[in-house]
Structures are given as structure tokens and as C-alpha cells.
Amino acid sequence: MNYFNKVFKNQTYLFYICTTSILVIFLLLKDTLSSLSYPIFFAYWLLSLFFFIILFGYRKNKSNYLKRQINSTFLLCLLIYIIITYLLGFSSSFIKITYNLKHIISIVYLVCLIILKELFRYTALSKSLNSYKLFIINFFLFVLYDLTFFSLTTTLNKYNLIALFITSITTELLLTYTSRKYGYVPCLTYCFFVNLLPELIFYPDIGLYLKVIFSVILNSLLFFLISKPYRKSEMERANTYKNNGWMFAEIFLMLFVFVTIILISGKFKYTLSSIASDSMYPELQRGDGIIVKKLTDEEKDNLKVGDVIAFKDGGFIITHRIIEITEEDGKKIYQTKGDNNTSKDVTKKGKDDIIGIVKIKIPYIGYPSVEIAEIKNK
């Protein structure tokens, strides 16, 4: 048995040397291969997985209560992460996705890469005979892959490279540990939210610095939650999933994320915004979230003195009250003022400036985005 294990490890080391060498070649030839990055990496992971299974076999990922609990933990933390990220997007902007054939193809490739990559990670770790050396080698292989993949698909400067390296270290350590202990399902969940979601829908542009901080915090929190020891009774519990409130929490958070994304998108009748100052105190306070009903030109004609509206002013969205309505050249002009301001707004607003009327106030929900915006401005 010892002889078999030794031969197996030697063969596995040789396999890792080959796969690592290929990534190094990709990195050295990045300028030449950049236009074919997705097909190349798709072939790389497909062939790596295929030959590993042929040479060393495949161990089925059997589900149990503990693994489902771990996946629920991942899902809850990732949903909270997405909610916080989108709330912070109020203070910055959102990256809009342009859907064309090229982008759709890249999404398909990315889905395939995520699945193949995580299946390879699980397969390699499940056959590693609890070897920590193979665990470390696997970890560094995926860090190298991250660096190679982004070098071929994006333009990296010094700061982006440092940020990528820090994020990759924490992410791959988390996913490698998770895959080895609990299988590939939590890893697929993580990759969907963190890697795939920004390519599917508009996503907050919170800046490189905050992305790194939030990524490290998320990875550290997940690692802490899943690496704590579990009681033996929990390990031996039946494989039936008992509903203990986690499922309801997941459903609620998923619905909350869905509704939040719809409101923030600005593509529907209602949109979500945040209050950045106390100019409308006491009705609206700094950090409050507001749901604004977007108005058509006909509906704008029905606005009256006293309505609280959201309007565009120099690239910003301002929420003030209408104090006077006049007509100039047959067009309605709206004079606005913040309830807490001593003077009215300098410029009057026309229909084209008005976004909509404030319908609902949600206290404090926009406070994190306002604070982050002020820190960034400073």
C-alpha cells in the first residue's frame, strides 16, 4: 500500500508539473494568445479533467446534511455580500452590460470554465490521499491560473496585479479548502455570484480598493464559518435536509436581492436611490433610501406644489420639494427647495430634468453607500 501511494503521488506530481508548465507557457505567450483566451482555457481545463480522470479515476461527490449546511452558509453570505455591494453602488455608478453575440459567447465559455475548473479541483483533491503537499500544489496551480487568465483577458497595471494577487490568494485558499472538505457545490455557488454575476447583469463599480477589501472580508468570513469544528452528532445526522429556518432565510434574501437589482437598474417604473445630505430634514434624512416612481411627460404635468421629486443636476440626483410652478414659452418650469435649506435652489427645472416623484422612504438603507462615497471623495 505504501508503495502504491508513493507511485500515485509521484504520478500526480508529474501531472501537476505538466499542467503548471502549460500555464506558464500561456503566460509567456499572452500577447499572442490573448485573442483566443477563452477557447484555450476551455480546452486546457477540459483536457486536464479528462486525463486526470483517465489516469487516477473519479470519486463521486456524495451529498449529506453537513455539505448542504455548508452550501447554505455560502449562499447566505454571498447574498448578503451582493446586497451590500449593490447598496454601495448608490454612491458610485453601475457598469452596464452590452449584450451582443461576442458577450454571450464569452458568458457561455465562462460558465464552462467555472464548471470544468471546479470539477478538476474537486477531482484532484479527492484523490490526493490527504496529502498536504498536493493540497498546496493544487492551491498554487489555481493562483497561477487566475494570474494567467486575467493577464490574457484584461490589461493589468501594477496596482491591478497586486489587487488580483491578494484576491486570488484568499479566494483560492477558501475554494481549495472547501472543495477538499465539502465538495464542489459550494465552490460553484461562490463562482456564480462572484465571477459570473457581474457578466450577466449591471454591476456596481465600487472601485478596485473596495473590491479587494470586500473580497478578503468575504473569504475570511466564509473560511472562519466552515472551518470551525462540528459536533459528532452533526456529522452523523441523517442525510435528510431538515428545515431549521435556513431555507426561509435564503428565499427571503434571494427575493430581496432580486427586488433590489430591479429597483437599482433604472429600467423599470420604480427606481431606488439614496439621500446624501440633510437638505430635506426632517422628512428625509441623510442615509435614507427612497423609491422613486418615474414619470412620463404627461404625468409630470400633474405635479403640484409640495411634491417631493428627484431630478438631475450636474451629474447628481437631487431630491427636493417643489415650491413653485411657472410657465416659460409655454413650458412648465419647476422651482425646488430643500426643506432644511434657507434658500431655494439656484436653477429651475424643466420636464427633461425631472426623474420622478418620491413614493416610499426606507430609513437608513442607503447610509453605507453615502459613507463610502464621502470616504472616496476625501
Whether the ω angle into residue 282 lies within 30 degrees of 0, i.e. cis, is yes
Give the pLDDT confidence score for residue 205 in this predicted structure.
74
Least confident of 7-11, 28-32, 153-157: 7-11
Give the pLDDT confidence score for residue 3 in this predicted structure.
46
For 206-232, give the DSSP string.
--HHHHHHHHHHHHHHHHHHHHS---H
Q: Which residue has the higher pLDDT, 312 or 367?
A: 312
Does the active-site annotation cover 277?
Answer: yes
161-185, pLDDT tens digit by residue? 888 888 899 999 999 999 988 889 9
CA dist 358 and 307 (Å) reads 8
Give the pLDDT confidence score for residue 262 in this predicted structure.
59
CA dist 197 and 94 (Å) reads 13
Q: Options 3.30.70.20, 3.30.565.10, 2.10.109.10, 3.30.10.20; which CATH number does 270-377 get?
A: 2.10.109.10
Positions of CATH 2.10.109.10 in the chain: 270-377
Give the pLDDT confidence score for residue 240 in this predicted structure.
42
Mean pLDDT taken over the chain: 80
- Angle formed by the axes of helices 246-265 and 65-88, nearest 10°: 30
Q: How many CB atoms lie within 10 A of CB 359?
A: 11
226-276, pLDDT tens digit by residue? 876 444 444 444 344 444 455 555 566 566 666 666 555 556 678 878 888
CA dist 113 and 46 (Å) reads 8
pLDDT class of 115 with cuts at 50, 70, 90: very high
Give the pLDDT confidence score for residue 331 in this predicted structure.
85
Least confident of 13-27, 78-92, 351-365: 78-92
Give the pLDDT confidence score for residue 210 in this predicted structure.
73
pLDDT class of 2 with cuts at 50, 70, 90: low
Single out the residue of 187, 139, 192, 149 nearest to residue 34, CA to CA: 149
CB-based contacts of 276, cutoff 8 Å, min separation 6: 91, 286, 370, 373
Check whether 7 has a pLDDT greater than 80: no
Check whether 336 has a pLDDT greater than 70: yes
User: At CA 118, angle to CA 163 and CA 142, rounded to 5?
Assistant: 40
Give the pLDDT confidence score for residue 370 in this predicted structure.
65
With beta carbons less than 8 A apart as the criterion, state whether 283 and 339 touch.
Answer: yes
With beta carbons less than 8 A apart as the criterion, state whether 311 and 349 touch.
Answer: yes
In a 3-state reduction of DSSP, which class is residue 63?
A: coil
> Can you read off the three cell numbers belonging to residue 271?
427606481
Give the pLDDT confidence score for residue 249 in this predicted structure.
55
- The residue from 277, 279, 343, 369 that is catalytic is 277
Check whether 212 has a pLDDT greater than 90: no
User: At CA 233, angle to CA 231 and CA 237, rounded to 5?
Assistant: 125
The partner residues of 362 in beta bridges, in order of sequence, read 289
Give the pLDDT confidence score for residue 234 in this predicted structure.
46
